[in-house]
């Protein structure tokens, strides 16, 4: 029975898909402190949080069974992604579930800012009828600058166009074609800052986005610009914003997020031209149900080995793309295992080349499978498809990925070239008929070996009285040889022999094989 811990008041109705799984047990609790989590997290296979609970490196260190952390929402600032990745824990979120809620809140904040609605409401409730103090502006024909044209930014742009606003955007990861489809003009950031009457930010908090709206940005803006931030605290420099509001450079700001949350005493709250809400962007009943449903489905998929769409710490891949590369995942892992066991010395570089139709596919899952297979044999810690690239990097292994046109006789070919301080080897493999995996080349020597079970790798000189003595020594141990492949380039030159055997060949037998005249080495390989 797998256990999933659900925290922070995730919408119960959205957990139906988890409750329907007979081998998954739910444990639903409220917000938990780091110390509380550390005490219990070792019992759980999965975990769902919203924004309140912090999933720290210390928590993850104790999560011995944890396979996946789900964030019921978009932002994952409360989850230590690096620590999760290093420990091979998948992090998923629900980026689409609150898109409409966040976009609508952004538009609502912009309209409230333009017409001073919160201030006017507060004054009226305080017993004062004051029309003159709250002269607003129309949004029609104004320029809205959207910084970040992802799901939410695109939804905001669409709704602003319905208000007859001119929408410009900055997003270095969006193509001109995509922007044209949205009816949005892409601009460099400085140009956007100079042209916009309203600016709304829709970026995750990162090294690149932190304080993207800061002192320099404010200096480029129009006098009287209005700022909306319903994305992440820290994207806007609050100290610089305060000064810009005080000076009149910025006419007003609408904030749903803050650098420190929760907060009730920000200096910004002292200003009459600031309106604020306590991080309500996703706070609709519809959004909370959607994100709960979405993340619950991701948790089930992750725990049961299905396709996971919204991954945070590994590249996502479409169902179609996954189907195209899936036959090569098993081959890749076995090739990685084989390579690790036949190469000598400390590996410092792994070069992976994909040729044929594979060159047109998203091959990162295959690369991760190769690294997993390779590292499984040399590391004591757990290795999986998530942490394999990180572990390789931490060991100083440079991973190079190449894609090229069709290579030789094979419609698709995966080639691994590993380089160590003592050795270098290349191993190539392919899949026949969608399921028949083969190693077809070792260091350029043609073979047709099935990578499974126990194998012997024997480089040797191509001459008589090699194969027979090797077979006799193995037979003396009552070990059957189930398959044999020999590859050579020229008669009498170097050759390689691959044997499939029914059991592990003892070390003493390997030493005897090494003494056969013409044998250059021999290694046990277990796949």
Catalytic residue status for 395: no
Query: Residue 44: which of 30, 58, 56, 28 has the closest Cα?
Result: 28
Find the catalytic residue in 71, 232, 438, 460. 232
Which one of the listed residues 138, 261, 270, 511 is annotated catalytic?
261
Judging by DSSP bridges, how do beta strands 24-28 and 347-356 pair with one another?
A: unpaired
Compute the residue count for the chain.
Answer: 527
Max intra-chain CA distance, the chain: 107
String of b and e for 213-245 (b: at least 16 CB within 10 Å)?
bbeebbeebbeebbbbbbbbbbbbbbebbbebb
Interatomic CA distance for residues 483 and 425, integer angstroms: 22
| Cα separation values, 71 from 60, 308, 327, Å | 15, 14, 31
Give catalytic status of residue 279 as yes or no: yes
d(CA 134, CA 131): 6
- Cα–Cα nearest to 448, from 502, 410, 418: 410
The active-site residue, picked from 50, 105, 202, 279, is 279
- Measured CA to CA, the distance from residue 67 to residue 71 in angstroms comes to 14
Per-position DSSP letters for 220-279, written without gaps between them: HSPTTEEEEE-S-TTSB-HHHHHHHHHHTSEEEEEES--SSSS-S--GGGG-TTEEE-SS
Instruction: Indicate if 454 belongs to the active site.
Output: no
Residues recognised as catalytic: 232, 261, 279
């Amino acid at each position: 029975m797998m256990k999933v811990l659900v925290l922070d008041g995730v919408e119960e109705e959205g957990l139906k898909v988890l409750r329907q799984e007979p081998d998954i047990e739910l444990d639903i609790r409220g917000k938990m402190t780091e110390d509380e989590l550390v005490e219990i997290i070792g019992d759980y296979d999965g975990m769902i949080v919203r924004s309140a609970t912090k999933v720290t490196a210390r928590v993850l260190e104790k999560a011995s069974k944890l396979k996946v952390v789900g964030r019921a929402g978009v932002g994952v600032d409360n989850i230590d992604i690096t620590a999760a990745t290093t420990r091979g824990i998948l992090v998923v979120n629900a980026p689409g579930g609150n898109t409409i809620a966040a976009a609508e809140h952004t538009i609502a904040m912009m309209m409230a800012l333009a017409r001073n609605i919160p201030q006017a409401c507060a004054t009226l409730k305080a017993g004062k009828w004051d029309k003159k103090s709250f002269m607003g502006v129309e949004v029609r024909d104004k320029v809205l600058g959207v910084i970040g044209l992802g799901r939410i930014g695109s939804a905001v742009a669409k709704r602003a166009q319905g208000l007859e606003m001119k929408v410009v955007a900055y997003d270095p990861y969006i193509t001109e074609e995509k922007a044209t489809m949205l009816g949005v003009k892409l601009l460099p950031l400085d140009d956007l800052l100079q042209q916009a009457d309203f600016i709304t930010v829709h970026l995750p908090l990162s090294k690149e986005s932190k304080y993207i709206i800061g002192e320099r940005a404010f200096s480029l803006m129009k006098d009287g610009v209005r700022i909306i931030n319903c994305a992440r605290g820290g994207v806007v420099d609050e100290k610089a914003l305060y000064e810009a509001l005080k000076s009149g450079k910025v006419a007003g700001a609408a904030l749903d997020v803050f650098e420190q949350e929760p907060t009730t005493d920000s200096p910004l709250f002292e200003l009459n031209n600031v309106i604020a809400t306590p991080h309500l962007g996703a706070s609709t009943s519809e959004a909370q149900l959607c994100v709960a449903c979405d993340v619950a489905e991701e948790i089930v998929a992750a725990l049961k080995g299905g396709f996971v769409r919204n991954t945070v710490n590994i590249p996502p891949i479409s169902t179609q793309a996954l189907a195209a590369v899936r036959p090569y995942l098993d081959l890749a892992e076995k090739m990685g295992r084989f390579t690790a066991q036949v190469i000598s010395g400390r590996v410092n570089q792994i070069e992976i080349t994909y040729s044929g139709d594979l060159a047109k596919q998203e091959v990162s899952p295959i690369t991760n499978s190769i690294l997993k297979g390779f590292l499984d044999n040399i590391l004591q810690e757990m290795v999986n498809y998530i942490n394999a690239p990180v572990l390789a990097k931490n060991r100083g292994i440079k991973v190079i990925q190449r894609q090229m046109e069709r290579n030789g006789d094979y419609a698709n070919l995966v080639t691994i070239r590993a380089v160590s301080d003592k050795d270098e080897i290349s191993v190539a493999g392919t899949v026949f008929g969608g399921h028949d995996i083969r190693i077809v080349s070792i260091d350029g020597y043609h073979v047709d070996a099935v990578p499974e079970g126990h194998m012997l790798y024997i480089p040797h000189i191509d001459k008589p009285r090699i194969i027979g003595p090797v077979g006799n020594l193995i037979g003396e141990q009552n070990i059957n040889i189930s398959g044999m492949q020999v590859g050579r380039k020229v008669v009498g030159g170097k050759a390689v022999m691959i044997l499939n055997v029914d059991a592990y060949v003892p070390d003493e037998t390997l030493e005897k094989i090494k003494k056969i005249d013409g044998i250059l080495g021999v290694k046990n390989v277990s796949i």
